[in-house]
Chains A and B, each alone.
Chain A
């Protein structure tokens, strides 16, 4: 690809104070409050290649703990590639390689000493198309914990209930936990996949287009869920739906041809973006 890597965008200003739980994010942070947010994931000067083709150019950004970070941009801009770098899902792609660093709580996740299974337990993922196992609802959620060694029935029961509640699905399925997960609606299946991700008690949840196959009602439920998940987890989401990014995210990054064009506060990106390319994209003038 004959793309010239552009200038890297500044890192996130760390001065914004996250409003306490339950408070609207539109509320103004109180001046003078000490910053309570910290960096969960830091990406530093990341270049990424699929074979000879470079897909990310000098990407640098910080994902804040207990916040929702959205990546937007046209198809092929590199946003999903970046998301998949955050829990090394790209390791599975032949010919994939990178330079630069991705840190989780300050530790390089590509360090040879890192156990990838442990990493993916800490950094879970939810995909575009819901992919429940052809098992019961209960077994879907219990699958991860069992794999990681939880055998005790009572602990598993509690974990399954807790995860389904966390995913906002418990009330709808509590009377049919032993029925097949494949009998659930699309939106329910997607929330089941979120419950399955929650069951291994991750710290970060990556979501790749989690609503693109869902109707508006199911989408609304997932969006509400994302909003509550950040109280407990750190969330990064890739979406084609810009209004969704505007609704759910605290910070937002705009990608174009492998370059992170602009990264910052979602409120700023959607009201007064700094870069003309961002402006053109989010106002629909682009393309």
Chain B
């Protein structure tokens, strides 16, 4: 039976994907602003945050309306409640992209501390996780979602490695401290973005299977 409600759900999905697309390009541009030392692009990224925030509010309202008016159950209920949470996760990712852009603006005003190698590597990995968690959401694919969860460890490792490397710069030459700290902030933001992608992936597993894998030891959950 074709339901009017299905059109509302399709609209919700579309808005979430729009938001996901915006956040993806925000992250990508923030990184380019840093690596290419393009401060105009950094300013663009900061401006875009407003659109992401507006979509977050819009999606929230849409979900509340659907809950109040349609009283969804089962997979519809899981889709709507998951949609609300995914929107919050994406909004936080947008804020982190904004943070990276602000650090890029500061770093671009000073000589480059070192060639950027690990940060782009970490960023590529993180952006792939973001893309894949959204793909898993669109295609209701719990297998891909679980892969995203497993991929998070790599980002954590690179972040830790970068931190040690930058610490050695700071110990060697105190004049590098400001720039090195800013770079650790960038790495930390990427690491947090990957965490939010993992959260979305976990939500997708719940949405599809009705099974909660959050806050469970990895060996027991995946």
Contacts and interface: CB of A to CB of B under 8 A. Distances in A.
A273 B211 CA distance: 11
B77 interface: yes
A243 interface: yes
B71 A273 contact: no
Contact of A284 (B5, B210, B211): B5
B114 interface: no
Interface residues of B, number: 14
Contact of A287 (B1, B75, B78, B210): B1
A246 interface: yes
Interface in A56-113: none
Contacts of B210: 271-272
A246 to B, nearest CB: 7
A282 B1 contact: no
A273 B73 CA distance: 10
Nearest to A285: B1
Interface residues of A, number: 15
A272 B74 contact: yes
A283 B1 contact: no
Interface in B103-141: none
Nearest to A274: B210
Given A271-B210, A272-B210, A283 B72 contact: yes
B75 A283 contact: yes
A283 B71 contact: no
Interface of B: 1, 3, 5, 71-78, 209-211
24 contacts: A242-B73, A243-B71, A246-B73, A270-B73, A270-B74, A270-B77, A271-B73, A271-B77, A271-B78, A271-B210, A272-B74, A272-B78, A272-B209, A279-B74, A282-B73, A282-B74, A283-B72, A283-B73, A283-B75, A283-B76, A284-B1, A285-B1, A285-B3, A287-B1
